[in-house]
């Protein structure tokens, strides 16, 4: 005989209890003091207290009274560390009840949100790589996207050609700006520290090392980097090799926040972002090689043109001058013959000078006529970054108008070029900046080349009044400008050029 079902109220209660138990989302009750009094099985799993009595557990959703101000269909997000140590983002709704408590519904949306952020980050990274940026600017942007999308403590993007060579930091987020990171890392390697990202570089496979921070800070071989590595909040570590066209060009290091798990979905995202970084590095190297080859070919062409025109004309001028001298030595030479020879010599010199001026004009940076001064400086900065590992940023206000002729633009370009050359050669700098801006009075343009080098006049004689500085000053003064160069108060070096918007040539002639 079947047992009685009980009252309709009993049946409704059992049905409701069954629905609560099988619900995949968290359901519970929150007391006015902010503590949970009831929680279904799904809720226990989400909050990390499965199998435990939730009574007395502090609600991450606030006290029940807070629910009185929330409409029933509203939702909110909260990021918590669960009772079993995981960082999760929960969506929840609170609904007040008559007895002063509140019913709460909540769901773990961590993975869904991260997937959205990762897809957005991948799209932005692709846009950065495809855009016109310096390599350092591009990879700094990629590093920031990775940190934001994967909720990491820090990210580094390192370029490396050979395991035994010094690495280059091409992108970083979360560490601040440790200018001497590579030097400190080299010191650690000399002490015998096991650099895990080198395993990823040499094997071509990701390396995952949980609780890596504690191991590094406890290892005296890592002492030179203890201060830097302790700065961001992180625990586990992942190194992803940067592989392009079958060649490993560097690594991406990801530092996970405590409680975050570098699981499979996270590794897939990091590998996608590492692919973008590898493409950016490879593209920059290809562009640098292409420009170098184009410059070499252009020099060879100009050498041929110089030989075929100016050199031949100078040879003819030499012969004509010898003939004229012979006629003058002959006391019987007719004045008309001497005059004709002198006229021919003058015509040859005029033609040679015209050809020489044309060749000198062609020796200008090829980008100036096509791209303009600002973009030409940016292209030079990108090439310098690839060749010398010096990160150079170029900035200018969007409304800055540069209307100088090519002669002036070339001299400004050469000044910037020489200043950056001195930075690479003498400064031991990790970064430099080229700034274009209007002067306060509006009648001139100010161009500054700043670096973070650690030298002084005494430690870097190449920074003093050498031929390079003298040449830069002469180029500035040629157009009525002023140039100053010297150490910065906060460290590093500064070259400052002030040039009128409408310069007048002061050295008395054209090129």
Q: Lowest-confidence range among 167-171, 234-238, 357-361, 491-495?
A: 357-361
Mean pLDDT within 33-40: 84
247-256 and 237-244 beta bridge pairing? antiparallel
Output DSSP code: residue 25.
Answer: S
Q: Alpha-carbon torsion 360, 363, 366, 372, what sign?
A: negative
* CA nearest neighbour of 232 among 250, 210, 254, 252: 254
Q: For residue 309, what pLDDT is reported?
A: 67
- Would you say 34 and 42 are in contact if contact means Cβ atoms under 8 Å apart? no
- pLDDT single digits (tens) 345-364: 777 777 776 666 555 555 55
Mean pLDDT within 205-211: 93
Tell me the β-bridge partners of 80: 88
415/474 Cα distance (integer angstroms): 10
Q: For residue 305, what pLDDT is reported?
A: 66
Return the SS3 of 211.
coil
Q: For residue 416, what pLDDT is reported?
A: 93
Domain 367-511 in the same topology as domain 8-108: no
Q: For residue 195, what pLDDT is reported?
A: 93
Of these ranges, 48-52, 267-271, 317-321, 416-420, the one predicted with the greatest mean pLDDT is 416-420
Q: For residue 456, what pLDDT is reported?
A: 45
- Token digits of residue 346: 């003058």
Q: How confident is the model at residue 169 (pLDDT cuts 50, 70, 90)?
A: confident
**Mean pLDDT of all residues in the chain?**
78
- Would you say 252 and 270 are in contact if contact means Cβ atoms under 8 Å apart? yes
Q: Which residues of 324-363 are buried (b: 16+ CB within 10 A; e: fewer)?
A: beebeeeeeeeeeeeeebeeebeebeeebeebbeeeeeee
Question: Is residue 98 predicted with pLDDT exceeding 50?
Answer: yes
% of the chain exceeding 70 in pLDDT? 74
The CATH number of the domain covering residues in 367-511: 3.30.565.10
DSSP 158-184: EE-SSTTSPPEEEEEESS---TTHHHH
- Would you say 124 and 138 are in contact if contact means Cβ atoms under 8 Å apart? no
- Would you say 238 and 206 are in contact if contact means Cβ atoms under 8 Å apart? yes
- Would you say 235 and 275 are in contact if contact means Cβ atoms under 8 Å apart? no
232/145 Cα distance (integer angstroms): 17
Q: For residue 459, what pLDDT is reported?
A: 41
Return the SS3 of 192.
coil
Q: Sort residue 143 into left (φ over 0), alpha (ψ -120 to 50) or beta.
A: alpha
Question: Is residue 71 predicted with pLDDT exceeding 50?
Answer: no
Could you tell me where the DSSP H helices lie in 210-263?
212-217, 226-229
Q: For residue 240, what pLDDT is reported?
A: 93
CATH classification (class only), 113-288: alpha beta
Q: Lowest-confidence range among 137-146, 446-455, 484-493?
A: 137-146
Q: How confident is the model at residue 461 (pLDDT cuts 50, 70, 90)?
A: very low
DSSP 317-381: HHHHHHHHHHHHHSTT--HHHHHHHHHHHHHHHHHHHHHHHHHHHHTS-HHHHHH-HHHHHHHHH
Mean pLDDT within 370-395: 83
Q: Where are the domains of the chain?
A: 8-108, 113-288, 367-511
Question: Is residue 283 predicted with pLDDT exceeding 60?
Answer: yes
Mean pLDDT within 232-256: 91
Compute the radius of gyration of the chain from its Cα atoms: 35
Of these ranges, 83-92, 242-251, 276-285, the one predicted with the greatest mean pLDDT is 242-251
- The CA angle 337-340-346, to the nearest 5 degrees, is 145
Q: Lowest-confidence range among 45-59, 99-113, 459-473?
A: 459-473
Question: Is residue 1 predicted with pLDDT exceeding 80?
Answer: no
54 or 339, which is more confident: 339
79/88 Cα distance (integer angstroms): 6
Output DSSP code: residue 308.
Answer: I
Correct CATH for 8-108 of 3.40.640.10, 3.40.630.30, 2.60.120.280, 3.30.450.20: 3.30.450.20
The DSSP element (H or E) to which 483 belongs, if any, is strand 482-487
Tell me the β-bridge partners of 87: 81
Mean pLDDT within 277-289: 78
- Give 87's contacts (C-beta < 8 A, 6+ positions apart): 79, 80, 81, 110, 151, 257, 258, 259, 260
Q: Lowest-confidence range among 35-44, 72-81, 88-97?
A: 72-81
Q: Lowest-confidence range among 270-279, 473-482, 500-509?
A: 500-509
Q: How confident is the model at residue 70 (pLDDT cuts 50, 70, 90)?
A: very low
Question: Is residue 178 predicted with pLDDT exceeding 80?
Answer: no
Q: For residue 201, what pLDDT is reported?
A: 92
Q: What end-to-end distance do the CA atoms of the chain give, in Å?
A: 115
Q: How confident is the model at residue 314 (pLDDT cuts 50, 70, 90)?
A: confident
């Amino acid at each position: 005989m079947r047992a009685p079902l009980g009252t309709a109220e009993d049946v409704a209660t059992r049905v409701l209890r069954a629905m609560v138990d099988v619900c995949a989302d968290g359901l519970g009750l929150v007391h006015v003091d902010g503590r949970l009094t009831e929680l279904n099985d799904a809720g226990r799993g989400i909050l990390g207290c499965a199998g435990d009595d939730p009574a007395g557990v502090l609600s991450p959703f606030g006290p029940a009274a807070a629910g009185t101000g929330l409409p029933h269909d509203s939702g909110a997000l909260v990021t918590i560390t669960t009772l079993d140590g995981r960082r999760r983002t929960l969506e929840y709704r609170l609904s007040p009840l008559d007895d002063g408590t509140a019913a709460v519904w909540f769901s773990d949306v961590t993975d869904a949100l991260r997937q959205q952020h990762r897809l957005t980050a991948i799209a932005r990274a692709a846009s950065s790589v495809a855009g016109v940026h310096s390599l350092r600017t591009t990879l700094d942007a990629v590093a920031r996207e990775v940190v934001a999308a994967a909720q990491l403590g820090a990210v580094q993007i390192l370029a490396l050609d050979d395991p035994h060579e010094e690495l280059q930091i091409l992108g970083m987020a979360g560490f601040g700006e440790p200018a001497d990171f590579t030097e400190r890392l080299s010191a650690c390697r000399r002490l015998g520290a096991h650099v895990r990202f080198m395993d990823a570089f040499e094997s071509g496979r990701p390396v995952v090392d949980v609780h890596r921070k504690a191991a590094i800070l406890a290892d005296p071989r890592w002492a030179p980097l203890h201060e830097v590595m302790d700065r961001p909040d992180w625990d586990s570590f992942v190194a992803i090799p940067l592989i392009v066209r079958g060649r490993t060009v560097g690594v991406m290091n990801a530092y996970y926040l405590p409680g975050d798990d570098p699981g499979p979905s996270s590794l897939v995202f990091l590998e996608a972002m590492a692919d973008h970084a590898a493409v950016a590095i490879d593209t920059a190297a290809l562009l640098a090689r292409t420009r170098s080859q184009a410059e070499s070919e252009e020099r060879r062409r100009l050498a041929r043109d110089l030989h075929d025109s100016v050199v031949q004309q100078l040879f003819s001028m030499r012969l004509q001058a010898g003939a004229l001298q012979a006629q003058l030595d002959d006391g019987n030479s007719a004045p008309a013959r001497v005059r004709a020879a002198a006229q021919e010599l003058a015509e040859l010199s005029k033609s040679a000078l015209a050809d020489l001026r044309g060749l000198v004009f062609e020796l200008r940076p090829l980008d100036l006529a096509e791209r303009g001064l600002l973009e030409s400086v940016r292209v030079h900065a990108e090439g310098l970054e690839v060749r010398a590992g010096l990160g150079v940023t170029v900035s200018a206000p969007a409304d800055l108008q540069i209307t100088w002729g090519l002669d002036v633009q070339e001299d400004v370009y050469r000044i910037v070029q020489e200043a950056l050359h001195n930075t690479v050669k003498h400064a031991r700098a990790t970064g430099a900046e080229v700034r274009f801006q209007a002067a306060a009075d509006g009648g001139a343009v100010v161009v500054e080349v700043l670096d973070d080098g650690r030298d002084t006049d005494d430690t870097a004689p190449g920074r003093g009044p050498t031929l390079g500085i003298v040449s830069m000053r002469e180029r500035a003064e040629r157009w009525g400008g002023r140039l100053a160069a010297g150490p910065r108060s906060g460290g590093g070096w500064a070259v400052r050029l002030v040039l009128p918007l409408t310069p007048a040539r002061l050295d008395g002639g054209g090129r």
